[in-house]
Amino acid sequence: MPAFKPDNFNDRQAAAAKARQAKLEKFKAQPKPDDPAVLARVAEQKAVGEAREARRAERDEARRIEAERLAAEAAARAVEAARLAEEKRQAAIAAAAAEVEAARQAVIETHERENRAAILDEESRQRSLALASEQKALRDARYAARKARK
């Protein structure tokens, strides 16, 4: 096996020149911009980009439509909630009015009962007084009759 021989300056310089030449040849071997293969690849990339843009636009449109639908649903829910709240408020007002009316009727009935009781008490008192005066008159008549017999 031969011994390791370190590179000298000339070897390194030749290797660098060879690498530069290989790069230059590789660059020159590339197809030109007006080459049909390059034009076809550019057209394909453009078509792919346009298709991607069209799909993105479709997704954006679908998102916009979905957002509008959700907004419409939210508005409908808000309207329904407002309607239910209004119905609840109206029911509370009606219940309060019914309660007030019931209280008013109770007060009226209480007054009527008290008035009837007062009238009945007055009639009863009048009857009692009439009965008492009638009984007194009968008693006085019996007493007068007894006095007259003596």
User: Look-up: residue for tokens 């300056």?
Assistant: 9
**Which residues have CB under 8 Å from 13's CB, separation 6+?**
none
pTM: 0.44
Structural domain boundaries, residue 87:
32-149
36 close to 43: Cβ distance less than 8 angstroms: no
**Which residues have CB under 8 Å from 15's CB, separation 6+?**
7
27, two tokens: 């660059």
According to DSSP, residue 5 is labeled -
**Tens-place pLDDT, residues 71-122:** 999 999 999 999 999 999 999 999 999 999 999 999 999 999 999 888 888 8
Answer yes or no: is 8 within a domain. no
pLDDT at 1: 53
Which band of pLDDT confidence, cut at 50, 70 and 90, is reported for residue 32? confident
Answer yes or no: is 81 within a domain. yes
User: 66 pLDDT exceeds 70?
Assistant: yes
Cα separation, 53 vs 61, in Å, equals 12
Q: How many domains, in total, are found in the chain?
A: 1
Cα separation, 5 vs 147, in Å, equals 182
